[in-house]
Amino acid sequence: MPDDLTIRPFSCLEEYEACADFQEEVWGEGFSEKVPSAILMIANRLGGLAAGAFDESGFMHGFVFGITGPVEGELVHWSDMLAVRKSGRDKGLGAYLKWYQREVMLDRGVREMRWTFDPLQGRNAHVNFNKLGIVCREYVKDMYGDTDSPLHRGVGTDRFVAEWSLDSERVEARLSEAGGTAAVDPTEFVSVPQVFPVVEVGDFPQPGSPDLDLEDPRLLVAIPADIEPIMDDDLALAVRWREATRGVFSHYLSRGYEVQEFFRGEPVSFYLLERGEAKVGDSVS
């Protein structure tokens, strides 16, 4: 954790209001899914968590918010929001906020945390898999519907559901890895089949036709190394990437595969899918 920052729950109305305002800075003015200060405050009273990363002046550089409830008789913490200012991203603040959230939940007896993220966002995938050790067994099409956030820009709100087993050996190993690198060597998987080829035409990579009949125990699925410039310059191509990956993830996760690793590269990065024991109700078509 950077020496000049402290992560702690919000402690006064001004901090709750600052968090509500910060959400509009990140997701756009008038963001319809904004969590108001009153709900943030109640979450801290009733088993949830609303916490920020503050410097010595009291300025908030990032925050995390989640709620806790029973799922099939077990307590699960749903991490609903996390946002970091650009200066904090350079310090890995997003991962530090997650580690803090994990410590708080373990102290409360919670052993599993879940949240969603966009499968096309490689930066988030790197943190989630390589630094935190999540797995994904569920893909949801347009989970949040059409939103007014400029971050989504017409490519929909498809999401992976991250599952974080807070005290598992896998997670403990990832947290102890210096630099948060992948726990496996990506060169070991050069012979693993890719579900669809990638064609390099012009400035950006393009997805080819997927093969939905593969039976291999491990599969690779490509995404652009950085989807943001594609969304800025060629929205139609960004939509093609969404449609290609949507079909692949929905199909293979419904057949018992789960997403286990993420390998960063250029011009594309890769998810590694492995056959696993699919949990009842985890697959979404």
Closest by Cα among 18, 69, 25 to 43: 69
- pLDDT of residue 277 exceeding 90, the answer is no
The mean of the pLDDT values for the chain is 90
Q: Residue 125's CB: how many other CB atoms inside 10 A?
A: 26
pLDDT number for residue 147: 55
Distance CA 212, CA 190 (A): 20
Contact 259, 272 (CB under 8 A): yes
Q: Which tens digit of pLDDT belongs to each residue from 84-116? A: 998 777 778 998 999 999 999 999 999 999 999
Q: Give every CB contact of residue 180 below 8 A, 6+ residues apart in sequence.
A: 92, 95, 126, 127, 130, 131, 174
- What confidence tier does 177 reach under pLDDT thresholds 50, 70, 90? low
- Per-residue pLDDT tens over the stretch 194-214: 999 999 888 999 999 999 999
pLDDT tens digits along 33-90:
899 999 999 999 999 999 999 999 999 999 999 999 999 999 999 999 999 998 777 7
